[in-house]
Chain A
């Protein structure tokens, strides 16, 4: 069955260095839809990314910083970028050398397409 999120995820996964793109429920940490390269663990990524995003959102709120518009986590062997609309978190996992600026633009564009 084709998901309504497929074009959004396809667009993100086409970016250079992107290893996985997922739409995750922030509340449950479960995958709604995903495009994951072979070897990546979609369920694990989804659960952790949703948890990180939720913590970041609550922290920003507690610090009176307002809503989180973009979250980026840089690690030794890759990076996670995430944005949110309602309960859905759009997550991209990319190589450490990937262009974050481009990924950010694509993520924000993709967010517009998620209703």
Chain B
């Protein structure tokens, strides 16, 4: 199974989880919908769309939970004719993640839930601490962030894009 991750510490626990739970596909994503790791996704399934939809579904279920019993629901399961999915969150030192797992009759909800518990434990144990909390990417910061990143990538002290087109930009306070 092909696994790709944005952060290397995720790969081993995710690989073990997918193998043990016999899942078809798995995605680990930030609650905003940004993908952190993917396993077993084929071209037929668009990862970006799956992440956005999974994050939206999880947020919706969370809000329903808050309205019904004062706190967000921890997990969500849907069963189709052939495929099922399980959506749940994992907490680590780097914050909360959502895991979207697709499985079929080779596995079962019980197995997926059981191994998901193990995945949460492993992720919590292996996640390196964030040195400073990440700031959300705001539209007002976008141009300055972009310029800074392009400068870092393509070098030198000169601005790569737009020259002086930084009207209205607001610098982020130093951490």
Contacts and interface: CB of A to CB of B under 8 A. Distances in A.
Are A and B subunits of one complex?
Answer: yes
For the residues of B in contact with A, the DSSP-based class is: helix
Interface residues of A, number: 15
B90 interface: no
Contacts of A28: 108-110
Nearest to B109: A28
B17 to A, nearest CB: 14
Contacts of A47: 108, 110-111, 113-114
A27 interface: yes
A43 B114 contact: yes
Nearest to A30: B110
Nearest to A27: B108
A44 B112 CA distance: 10
Contacts of A43: 110, 113-114
Interface in A12-51: 24-25, 27-31, 43-44, 46-48, 50-51
Contacts of A48: 111, 114
Nearest to A28: B109
Find the residue from B107, B108, B111, B113 having the highest chain A CB count within 10 A: B108
Given A28-B109, A29-B109, 14 more contacts: A25-B110, A27-B108, A29-B108, A29-B110, A30-B109, A43-B110, A43-B113, A47-B108, A47-B110, A47-B113, A48-B111, A50-B108, A51-B111, A54-B108
5 contacts: A24-B110, A28-B109, A30-B109, A43-B114, A44-B114
Interface of B: 107-111, 113-114
Interface of A: 24-25, 27-31, 43-44, 46-48, 50-51, 54
